[in-house]
Chains A and B, each alone.
Chain A
Amino acid sequence: MTLSPIKPAPRRAALVLLALTVVFLTFATAGPRAALLMLVGLGFGLTLEGLRFGFAGPWRTLVSERDARGLLAQFLAVGLAACVAIPLLASFPTELNGAHAPIGLAMIVAAFVFGAAMQLVMGCGSGTLVNAGSGNAIALVALLGFVAGSFLGTLHSSWWTSFGVLPLLTLQGQFGTAGGLLLTLLGLVVLAALALMRALPGRRLPPRRLVLAALLVALLASLNLVIAGQSWGVVYGLGLWGAKLVSAAGVDLSGSAFWGSAAHAERLSQSLLTDVTSLTNIGLILGAFLVMRWRAVPDPQVAPLTPRSWLVVLLAGLLLGYSARVALGCNVGAFFSGVSTGSLHGWAWFVAAFAGSMLGIRLRPRLLLPLRPTDGSGTGGGR
């Protein structure tokens, strides 16, 4: 494929101008909080794509390559974010909300399905957005399915959540702020120890790049909490995008239990530029695009797939969205934000999704078939 004829310096200047323009227009249209959240989203996109930090990829490499470096960086990011979030939530309970949700049977099954689908498209919620922004064709197709799936999930979410739901439990609620934070960190240390036991020598400690990425992700997640008053999330925004498109097609969603409720009906009637997760999601896509175009030579496109495999990608994206809605979040909203704000559902989500991920890793080579014998670019390129 041909690259842009524009020389790197003017192209990079144009990219900086594009980012500044988007932030300014967001500020002019929706106010300072929206602009700040767009900046946070851009920061996530720049960090995840620029430093190649992700969720789905490290889960796969731990299982298939016995490489724990990416997963340890995830745990580091979650732990650092918890050190900020849990004390803040305790100090400002009326102004800040954690990503707290109850553990439920449907939630656990859905997290398992999400984990499997995530490995098929090699991207979780944030990963699919970042990969689409960075020009990964698989991710763009999966994102379309993700939007549709997370919208469909909202139509059935009340039915799914009626199955065996425990009361909402947080570690700080059970053991106090200090106890909750210590138990969160202890849990992450235990998981890190298990990952280290699995890893081969030389594939244990994260390189400086991933440590820096973990620091930045924790910082950005903390800023998200402070600015928005709620934890970083992805899936709600995608479901809202689907609902917006369906509404634009003339479908009345007021009869839906989900979109008919006051809080969600309000979001549906308001601009996307006032929705927290939509703003950071848009920023993620744009940030990843900026990094991809900043590079002198963009990564190669993923290998072309058979038509049947493209259908699998679309369906896996649909499943990703649907299951993320029923599981009350993806790697970001449920795992990262749930665990870092003390919610027990984040731990249950992680265990179930990791088990599903192991199934997805086995399914991927059987369901995603390259159109031609491998040319070295692979069918991955995700995170």
Chain B
Amino acid sequence: MTALLQASRPRVGGLSLILVLLLLLVDHVQSRPINPYQAPAPVALGSGVAPTAAHCTAP
């Protein structure tokens, strides 16, 4: 653990990416498959659709 915390920046940065990749793998296993036919318009502005994504300000 101590060695890890004193590793070089490339190693710690690489570890960060690996953790993100693991998160995405866990997510892939448990989430509903993405339906490409229900993908939103490339850009919200001009799409005529109200945004449904969540934000930090959401209670």
Interface residues, chain A, with chain B CB atoms under 8 Å away: 1-4, 29-34, 36, 88, 92, 94-97, 99-101, 132-137, 140-141, 143, 157-158, 161, 226-231, 233-236, 240-241, 244-245, 247-248, 263-264, 266-267, 269-277, 282, 285-286, 288-289, 292-293, 298-301, 304-305, 310, 324-325, 328-330, 332-334, 338, 343, 345
Contact = CB atoms under 8 A, between A and B. Distances in A.
Number of chain B interface residues as a range? 35 or more
Interface of B: 2, 4-17, 20, 23-24, 26-34, 36, 39-59
Contacts of B43: 33, 36, 226-227
A230 B55 contact: yes
Contacts of B39: 30-34
B12 A33 contact: no
21 contacts: A29-B34, A33-B42, A88-B45, A95-B48, A95-B51, A133-B17, A227-B43, A229-B51, A230-B51, A240-B54, A245-B26, A270-B34, A277-B55, A282-B24, A292-B9, A292-B13, A293-B10, A299-B9, A328-B59, A333-B55, A343-B57
Given A33-B40, A135-B11, A247-B30, 11 more contacts: A133-B17, A134-B9, A135-B9, A158-B59, A227-B43, A229-B45, A234-B56, A248-B29, A269-B31, A276-B54, A333-B56
B8 A301 contact: yes
B57 to A, nearest CB: 4
B30 A136 contact: no
A100 B57 contact: yes
B10 A264 contact: no
Contact of B57 (A2, A241, A269, A338): A338
A343 B36 CA distance: 35
B34 A271 contact: yes
Given A32-B42, A244-B26, A285 B56 contact: no
A271 B33 CA distance: 7
A285 B44 contact: no
Contacts of A334: 56-57
Contact of B34 (A264, A274, A277, A301): A274
B37 to A, nearest CB: 10
B30 A132 contact: no
Contacts of B56: 99, 233-236, 277, 324-325, 328-330, 332-334
Nearest to A245: B26
Given A4-B10, A271-B27, A272-B24, A230 B53 contact: yes
A135 B16 contact: yes
Closest 9 CB pairs between A and B?
Answer: A135-B9, A229-B44, A229-B51, A31-B39, A333-B56, A1-B8, A135-B13, A329-B56, A101-B57
Nearest to A99: B57
B44 A228 contact: yes
Contacts of A4: 10
